[in-house]
Amino acid sequence: MSPKYKLTYFDIKGLGECIKYIFAYKGIEYECETVILFTGKGPWNDIKASTPFGQLPVLEVDGKRLYQSQAICQYLANQHDLLTGNAWDDAHNVALASAMQDLIIRVARCYYERNLEMKATLMKDREDNMLPFYYKRFEDILKSRGDFYAGKVSWIDFYMVAGIEAVDGMMGADNVSGKFPFLKSHMERVWNLPKVKEYIANRPPYPR
């Protein structure tokens, strides 16, 4: 019997979307608890202290809690045939996901800056310097692997696409189209995977 999954995450794409893509692609049933992300007060503040490290996503598997988006993705990948089957390539997947998370954190720090003048300056710097730095490298690495790593879809494909969506969502702009053609084609390949396409067409709109 397949395990009972429950994913808890916010009402944003963020680090929860890669997990939802995996569930969609594999046609896995799961319960989804969506927490409204208020800053300083409200539902999240009530729940935060009860989570393992004060953050989401958290995945419950038959009542046991797993946290950290990469660990969750790798666990699901292990259970549902989304690893590459090669230790070196799987390690490289983790390296790439970690680089993506470095970028997300750096952009998020500016996104939540309260001094609006400072925020505008920081975001402009991210757009002009940081994004091209990371996106160029992501493009080159993904390109060197072909359409999908090892000829098959692996969890990193979902992690990268959801990561770029999260970054560009915070930036309020599409920083890929017209600049990084392979990255864009990779995103489209993932978006067009069977079941993922259906999931995207039916997913409720996120506030950002």
Ligand X SMILES: N[C@@H](CCC(=O)N[C@@H](CS)C(=O)NCC(=O)O)C(=O)O
Give the interface with ligand X as residue ranges (CB under 6 A).
Answer: 14-15, 48, 54-57, 68-70, 101
| Cβ proximity to ligand X, 45 vs 192, nearer residue | 45
- Say how far apart CA 105 and CA 140 lie, in whole Å: 22
Helix (H, G, I), strand (E, B) or coil at 83: coil
CB 28 within 8 A of CB 117: no
The DSSP bridge partners found for residue 58 are 8, 67
Q: How far is the CB of 134 from ligand X (least distance, A)?
A: 17
CB 142 within 8 A of CB 184: no
Q: How far is the CB of 62 from ligand X (least distance, A)?
A: 20
Question: What is the number of the residue whose Cβ is closest to ligand X?
Answer: 55
Q: How far is the CB of 56 from ligand X (least distance, A)?
A: 4
Q: How far is the CB of 151 from ligand X (least distance, A)?
A: 27
Select from 174, 167, 66 the least CA-distant residue to 126.
167
| Cβ proximity to ligand X, 57 vs 180, nearer residue | 57
